[in-house]
Amino acid sequence: MVAPARCTDGMGEFDLIDRYFKRPARHAALGVGDDCALLQPKAGTQMAISSDMLVSGRHFFADVDPRTLGHKALAVNLSDLAACGAQPLAFTLALSLPHVDEPWLAAFAEGLFALADVHGCELIGGDTTAGPLNICITVFGEVPVVAGSSQALLRSGARPGDDIYVSGTLGDARLALDALLGKIELPPELLATSRARLETPTPRIALGLALRGIASAAIDVSDGLLGDLGHILENSGVGATVHADIATELIAAYSGNKRATGQFCIQLSTEQWRALALAGGDDYELLFTAPPTLRDTVAQAGRASQTPVTRIGQINTEPGLHLMDRQGKPLDNTCASFDHFA
């Protein structure tokens, strides 16, 4: 299914890799350019591994700025390392492209490597092919094993009585998506800030590292707060109560909207704001649990990692996910998450 190469100067697969994606290996024993890359994890560590595939028209608009796409493709993977409490090491990139567009590739590589460099995470290999635009990144991080026990944060460790926390803000990425889809109108400056949350999310690596040994369970919020909390509850065999209005206050556009006067106003119902926070998705914040005895320690981890952390609920013994409003009254928990095949 491959076309015979011609003896022309057209940019081929190997030139493309050399020009845009080959950089000297720094940490890896062997980087891009052989059949395999070679990584040698430090003694007494485990390797944390995660893979995410981004498809044009599904995870991003076909005409998205390639610089932000390069950022986001790596960010969603780094977010999985953050949720695991892993230190990023390296990644592979497999890229299917409809055609070779050099300015697009240069901008994509720029966005990708800018974020990679922030986290000392190096590209060690991958694949390029012709086909519908598709980006598959597999990321590798390091987690210490102390006295035979992995320091990785898992989904399965939440215990009844634990507090539930979320980092940063919620819902703004979905607000931007709805605006870009024409479902809602946003003032230009609010569109810009919300769109930055959608297109260039911040993987919470520093917070994930700071929460090792503190958080009892963790996950990153990609499909929506309640949906992702559901994975913690299922894996831990517990239930939870979430303060819907505290979560809603975490929408930057909501807090801004409340503070704004006259010209700055978005017309959404209370239910719509809550749905943004609870089921918006694409937030790439850390959702985690910790015992109430560690509240000061959690706050300290947030400060040390310069990451806002908000307590939004509690783990229950009984299975089930309950919502309450600011008066403590129960709210309907409508099935609200995102699923790529639903």
| Contacting range for its own copies; rule: CB under 8 A; set: 47-55, 105-113, 266-274, 295-303 | 47-55
Binding range to its own copies, per CB under 8 A, among 8-16, 101-109, 114-122, 245-253: 8-16
Q: Of 173, 162, 284, nearest to 219 (Cα)?
A: 284
- Shortest distance (Å) from residue 279 CB to its own copies: 7
State the DSSP string of 239-304: EEEEEHHHHHHT-HHHHHHHH--TT------HHHHHHHHHH------EEEEE-GGGHHHHHHHHHH
147 binds its own copies (CB under 8 A): no
What residues between 226 and 265 interact with its own copies by CB under 8 A? 227, 235
Please check whether residue 247 is in contact with residue 277, taking contact to mean a CB–CB distance below 8 angstroms. yes
Residues 69-88 that bind its own copies (CB under 8 A): 80-81, 83-84, 86
Residue from 162, 172, 199, 220 in contact with its own copies (CB under 8 A):
220
Mask: binding to its own copies, 290-319, rule CB under 8 A, as x and -?
------------------------------
According to the binding rule CB under 8 A, does residue 178 interact with its own copies? no
- Token couple for 324: 């309450």
Q: What is the C-alpha to C-alpha distance for residues 180 and 63, in angstroms, rounded to an integer?
A: 12
Minimum gap (Å) between residue 22 Cβ and its own copies: 13
Find all residues with CB under 8 Å of 203, minimum gap 6, and list them.
75, 76, 78, 79, 81, 82, 115, 119, 284
Query: Among 69, 109, 112, 136, which residue interacts with its own copies (rule: CB under 8 A)?
Result: 136
Stretch that binds its own copies, among 160-168, 236-244, 250-258, 332-340 (CB under 8 A): 332-340
Residue for token pair 């299917």:
96
Contact between 218 and its own copies (CB under 8 A)? yes
* Least gap, CB of 252 to its own copies (angstroms): 21
Q: How many CB atoms sit inside 10 A of residue 156's CB?
A: 13
Q: By three-state DSSP, how is residue 191 classified?
A: helix
